[in-house]
Amino acid sequence: MAVLKVLVIDDEPGIRSGVSRILNNFHVTYPFMDEDYTFEVTEAATGEDGIKVLERDMPDILLLDNKLPGIQGVEVLEYIRKRNYDIVVAMITSYASLDVAVRATRNGAIDFIPKPFTPQELKSSIENITKQQYLKRITHRMNQEGKKVRYQFLSVLSHELKAPLNALEGYLRMMQDKQSGELIDDYATPIERSLQRIHGMRSLIMDLLDFTKIRLERKEEKIQEVNLAELASEAIVTVQPFAIQMDVNITLDVRTDVTIFADPDDIEIVFNNLISNAVKYNKIGGKAEITIDCSDSEAILIISDTGIGITKNDTENLFAEFVRIKNEKTRNISGSGLGLSIVKKVVELYHGTIKVDSTPDVGTVFTIRLPKKPITTI
């Protein structure tokens, strides 16, 4: 239950008490609102008093008579507008001259309630105002949250992009100043580390491209029937050189040959990320297995490895942007921290689910379920 504060400024006591009586027992509800709104009414007999109350209580809704003993209603309205207060104003007036109506509207009054009014007339005006106020606040809040998320993303991104540059700069300065000695061999570690950081930065940039692609592209025209086993084999070929280096054996087990409706680029992103992770976070001589299967309505992809695994705590944040699990075992593995967040976004785009089961030092299993039927709303 939320309470909206209503201020009535009117020199007629009958009007003020009428409004109080009607609204104190009134509540507004809509199917799309989280909660009901009730009203708490305060009264003022003059514009001057009204402004005092307004400064003290900051009401949500103001019911304002124009003809007042001192300053006029329209002047109160101007006062509010100049200060940008977030108050919805409705004029209550027995006869609004065109001039007053224009001035009031220009200064932000959104409704006119003719005097005298029936309880029902007042209620329906208040109902409209409440709805508007609610929508305005929701929009404002959503904009703020959107901005915050974008800002966080950009600030973390620039941190991730600048960190490798700082590292490279530091190493190059060490060499420029010959801090470790005269011979190129004295700088084996800085050179090796620099190359690793460049590699990491490149993969971050590639991931960012994927990321913007899934965020920005309209997909309808690219959706087609794709064969999951084929795409998996292609991804395995891509990862193979790295797997040979790590001596990891990748196998593909097609239990049911499944096709789904998707943009093949998206599915490629999913396979590439998960299969290369299964190799990257594996042990020398380990195994990675891709299983493709289906239920009545879903395609099921299982990517399992015999790698270093993830603790229960770490799995919670695993799919967030820029999250990298940091520990002894991962410190020499480079990555952007974007891969799994991208995979999750793609899977959700197709109304699918992704889940992870892992045991440290034993291995990790990612299970993805994607609807077989074409999705209409991408």
Partner 1 sequence: MNKSDITILVADDDPDYLFQTVFNLEKAGYRTIAVESQAEAESVIARSKPDLAIFDLMMESDDSGFILCYKIKRKYPEVPVILATAVSHETGLSFSIDSDQEKSWIRADRYLEKGIRPEQLDQEIMKLLRF
Query: Could you list the residues that contact partner 1 (CB under 8 A)?
Result: 154-155, 158-159, 162-163, 166-167, 169-171, 173-174, 179-180, 189, 193, 197, 326, 331
- Complete DSSP assignment for 324-345: ---STTTTT----S-HHHHHHH
Q: Closer to partner 1 at the Cβ: 147 or 173?
A: 173
Q: Closer to partner 1 at the Cβ: 194 or 306?
A: 194
Q: State both tokens at 251.
A: 């196998």
Q: Closer to partner 1 at the Cβ: 95 or 153?
A: 153
Provide, rounded to whole angstroms, the least separation between the CB of residue 183 and partner 1: 17
Provide, rounded to whole angstroms, the least separation between the CB of residue 194 and partner 1: 8
Strand, coil or helix: 366: strand
Q: Closer to partner 1 at the Cβ: 169 or 361?
A: 169
Provide, rounded to whole angstroms, the least separation between the CB of residue 286 and partner 1: 24
**Cα–Cα distance, 166 to 227 (Å, whole number):** 44
Q: Closer to partner 1 at the Cβ: 3 or 149?
A: 149
Strand, coil or helix: 100: helix
**Cα–Cα distance, 336 to 166 (Å, whole number):** 16
CB-neighbour burial class of residue 250 (10 A; exposed 0-12, middle 13-18, buried 19+): buried
Smallest Cα–Cα separation from 363: which of 295, 299, 302?
Answer: 302
Provide, rounded to whole angstroms, the least separation between the CB of residue 167 and partner 1: 4
The packing angle between helices 228-246 and 264-280, to 10°, is 30
Residue whose structure tokens are 């965020």: 215
Provide, rounded to whole angstroms, the least separation between the CB of residue 271 and partner 1: 30
Q: Closer to partner 1 at the Cβ: 160 or 298?
A: 160
Q: Closer to partner 1 at the Cβ: 162 or 355?
A: 162
Provide, rounded to whole angstroms, the least separation between the CB of residue 161 and partner 1: 8
Provide, rounded to whole angstroms, the least separation between the CB of residue 146 and partner 1: 18
Provide, rounded to whole angstroms, the least separation between the CB of residue 344 and partner 1: 22
**Cα–Cα distance, 111 to 304 (Å, whole number):** 63
Terminal Cα-to-Cα distance of the chain (whole angstroms): 36
Provide, rounded to whole angstroms, the least separation between the CB of residue 64 and partner 1: 41
Q: Closer to partner 1 at the Cβ: 132 or 196?
A: 196
Handedness of CA 261, 264, 268, 270 (dihedral sign): negative
Q: Closer to partner 1 at the Cβ: 159 or 355?
A: 159
Under 8 Å between Cβ of 350 and 375? yes
- If you count them, how many residues does the chain have? 378
Rg of the chain, C-alpha, whole Å: 32
Provide, rounded to whole angstroms, the least separation between the CB of residue 330 and partner 1: 11
β partners of residue 61: 6, 88
Burial string for 8-46 (b: 16+ CB within 10 Å, else e) reads bbbeeeebbebbbebbeebebeeeeeeeebbbebbbbbb
